[in-house]
Structure 1
Amino acid sequence: MPTVWFITGASNGFGLLLSLRALKAGHNVIATMRNKTKAAQAAKSIEDAGGKVLELDLTEPQASIAKKVQDAEAIYGKIDVLVNNAGYSLLGPIELFTEKEANLQIQTNLFGPLYTIQAALPGMRARRSGTIVNVSSVAGQDGLPTCGLYAASKFALEGLSESLSREVAEFGISVLIVEPGGFRTNFLAAMVVNEKGLGKNNEYQGTQVHKTMKMFEDYNGKQQGDPEKAAERILGAVTGEGQGGQVKGKVLRLPLGKDAFDRITKKVDKVKKDLETTQSVACSTDI
């Protein structure tokens, strides 16, 4: 029986490409997007390739998300691979984010995936098999200026994924965290800038926040990552076939892109240096 994939955020980018690649490989795919009408071309391409398309907004209440996942599960009688890909990035100084902006960022990037996971797990646990793929970001390891809330949402998703991997391993369920760097999708074009900008009196003008926001603007369309190759590697890491297949079952995290690999390496080196520097202090506090 073909593997059944449930992929969120399939209106563009990784979600769309992974849906089409999985269908091409002979899998069954249920892809979701917030609005099928607005994403009519993407929906048609998935359906023409044999996939199913459902509407799902990750800011919906928990019960609504659970019902839609259960409805999707009923189509083929199971969900083998859950891919939490939907999400967005909010940019701005941490000081100036509004309550509404903070809630929407965390709801979309953390609570939405949490609720899809909760809905898909009973079936996976009953079958003693399944894979949960949570698409994080290099920002889930290394938070830049302007990315405070986005990084917070992805750090949280990675923490959730770490715990989840330890909770469900005995049920034959695996977890994979995908950490992309810069890929030539519409991700940067779709980034949301905080409504208060750089402050009432431009307090953050000329600061690292301002410079980093400008960097993202200039980087759009110049990313080095090939999204089709990324989709191929994710598919391989899940199925054990093709490029990426060699890491199946061996890793919790899958960084994608040399930029992501380099940034995460530097972050790990810094954490290691902090540990070495604080070892005597840290170990001096036991009773």
Structure 2
Amino acid sequence: MAPLVWFITGASSGFGLSLSLHALSAGHQVVATVRNTAKSAEAVQKIQEKGGKIVELDVTKPDTIAQAVREAESTYGRIDVLVNNAGYSLLGAVEDLTDREGLQQMDTNFFGPLRLIRAVLPGMRARRSGTIVNITSIAGQDGLPSCGLYAASKFAVEGLSESLARELAPLGIAVLLVEPGSFRTNFWRAVQLNETGLSEPYRDGPVGDVLNRFGSVVGQQRGDPEKAAARIFEVVAGEGEAGQLKGRILRLPLGPDCVQRLEKKLKSVSSDLEAARKVAMSTDFDGA
């Protein structure tokens, strides 16, 4: 197939960096964004050495997004694949979180992707082709204690993507949701805890237990980010081990832990539906 032009956010580490390098190694063209080139010097060098273009971009600054997209389109003529990967996780009991912390989480994880989607769609619509890849998380399906706001931001991207996929299908544009489980990236090292810390009522219970478990898994995650990047690339490009999934799925779960949590969630939803079915069916007007 002809090389694609990829626009990948959050390329300083993790999936963003791995996917950028994988696409470049496969002969594709990549515009990779980082918030600060000086702080991401090692990743910048790796991407540039393979022929990728680096753009500084903070997805929470709306005025810079259109400029970054224009720069990419002027360089390569188009953007074929947008990968919304930039984001972070804020952890803490929901009661302990402030409005400001919540707004920052949603600004980065939800409004950032939304801004980029709006910016690339005119070009994709004009060509009637393109793919929007939104990296969410199994947390976008299954919210654990301590992950309330992070899960909310990912649930929001999932809901947006479901509607978006239906809106764009007639225009020849695909949407793919990527739902990773636990992978050995720097994700957990970059986690932010709420400013006030964990309040006493939540220390001995589900929130404290999950936070302690998260801390113990850093560097021990089973997931290989290079393999994850390869699977994402294959689904988008329609080649390789996962290529047969191109155009057939909205969601791409990644990792055995993700599959297990998703299966458990589906069983829970199905159980709720069956338990409440009679009540749910009793709410129409009489005779309707």
TM range (shorter): over 0.9
Please give the per-residue CA displacement for 1:197-222, whole angstroms capped at 9, x wherever unaligned: 112xx222212101100010001111
Matching of residue 242 in structure 1 with residue 240 in structure 2: yes
Distance between the aligned counterparts of 2:251 and 2:245, measured in 1? 10
Q: How does 1:266-281 map to 2 (within 5 A)?
A: 266-281=264-279
Distance between the aligned counterparts of 1:129 and 1:226, measured in 2? 31
Distance between the aligned counterparts of 2:54 and 2:242, measured in 1? 27
Deviation at 1:7, TM superposition (A): 0.2
Return the letter of the residue paired with 2:231. Answer: R
Residue 107 of structure 1 is matched in structure 2 by: 107
Matching of residue 11 in structure 1 with residue 12 in structure 2: yes
Distance between the aligned counterparts of 1:283 and 1:205, measured in 2? 41
Matching of residue 260 in structure 1 with residue 261 in structure 2: no
Pairing partner for 1:233 from 227, 231, 234: 231
Deviation at 1:72, TM superposition (A): 1.7
Residue 164 of structure 2 is matched in structure 1 by: 164
Residue 189 of structure 1 is matched in structure 2 by: 189
Q: How does 1:1-287 map to 2 (within 5 A)?
A: 2-61=3-62, 63-199=63-199, 202-287=200-285
Distance between the aligned counterparts of 2:247 and 2:112, measured in 1? 25
Q: How many residues align?
A: 284
Distance between the aligned counterparts of 1:205 and 1:230, measured in 2? 34
Paired residues of 2:58 and 2:64 also in contact (CA < 8 A): no
SS of 1:229's equivalent in the other structure is: helix
Distance between the aligned counterparts of 2:75 and 2:236, measured in 1? 22
TM-score (norm 2): 0.97
Deviation at 1:229, TM superposition (A): 0.2
Return the letter of the residue paired with 1:49. Answer: K
Deviation at 1:75, TM superposition (A): 1.1
Deviation at 1:2, TM superposition (A): 2.3
Please give the per-residue CA displacement for 1:31-72, whole angstroms capped at 9, x wherever unaligned: 0010011000100110010000000111112x3212222222
Return the letter of the residue paired with 1:174. Answer: A
Paired residues of 2:140 and 2:155 also in contact (CA < 8 A): yes
Structure 2 stretches lacking a partner, 5+ long: none
SS of 2:27's equivalent in the other structure is: coil
Distance between the aligned counterparts of 2:244 and 2:219, measured in 1? 31
TM-score (norm 1): 0.98
Distance between the aligned counterparts of 1:155 and 1:74, measured in 2? 34
- % identity of equivalent residues: 61
SS of 1:54's equivalent in the other structure is: strand
Return the letter of the residue paired with 2:177. Answer: I
